[in-house]
Amino acid sequence: MTRFGLKRGCRDAYLELVQVFPLASVKSDEHLQEAQNVMDRLLAKDRLNQGEEMYLDALSDLVAAYEDQHHAIGPASDADMLRHFMEAKGVTQAELHRDTQIPKSTISEVLAGRRPFSRSVIRKLARYFQVDAGVLAANL
């Protein structure tokens, strides 16, 4: 057995899962839904053994590959990004203005989707929210 092999009990659990739902490239949305159902059942368990974890990891990779190819999600808008960071930090537009010196009108226009981030705003927001500026610059 290689060092990546499974012990007897874990191997049995892994092989049982493979027999019920084989690990193969996802080919359709119907296949995707079935794979997600299997993943949901495993994730609902309180505890997974090594074989179940290994199977879940592999199935998750197959699902992600299909979703990346067929259901890709585009980058979030500047408005969505700013709204998310504000909600996560629990700050209002007024607090953001006060703490960053970004004009209130700029914050309002970005949140309304009428104005994109400028480089200056990106630098201030990155410092304030303590994130890499590249996260905020995805739409430049």
pLDDT tens, residue by residue, 43-82: 999 999 999 999 999 999 999 999 999 998 888 999 999 9
> Domain map of the chain by residue range?
8-70, 78-136
CA distances (Å), origin 98, targets 15, 86, 95, 130: 59, 13, 5, 17
The answer to whether residue 2 scores a pLDDT higher than 60 is: no
Whole-number average pLDDT of the chain: 93
Question: Structure pTM?
Answer: 0.58
The answer to whether residue 139 scores a pLDDT higher than 90 is: no
The answer to whether residue 4 scores a pLDDT higher than 70 is: no
Dihedrals phi, psi of 124, to nearest 5 degrees: -65, -45
Give dist(CA 82, CA 96) in Å, integer. Answer: 10
Q: What is the mean pLDDT of residues 6-13?
A: 81
Confidence of residue 9 (pLDDT cuts 50, 70, 90): confident
Burial bucket for residue 133 (CB in 10 Å: 0-12, 13-18, 19+): middle
State pLDDT tens for residues 29-38.
999 999 999 9
Give dist(CA 127, CA 56) in Å, integer. Answer: 37
Q: What is the mean pLDDT of residues 17-32?
A: 96
In residues, how long is the chain? 140
State pLDDT tens for residues 81-91.
999 999 999 99
| Cβ neighbour number for residue 135 with a 10 Å cutoff | 14
- CATH architecture of the region 78-136: Orthogonal Bundle (1.10)
CB 107 within 8 A of CB 97: yes
CA distances (Å), origin 114, targets 39, 77, 97, 107: 40, 11, 18, 10
Q: What is the mean pLDDT of residues 19-36?
A: 96
Can you give the pLDDT at residue 42? 95
Can you give the pLDDT at residue 73? 84
More confident residue, 8 or 42: 42
CB 23 within 8 A of CB 55: yes
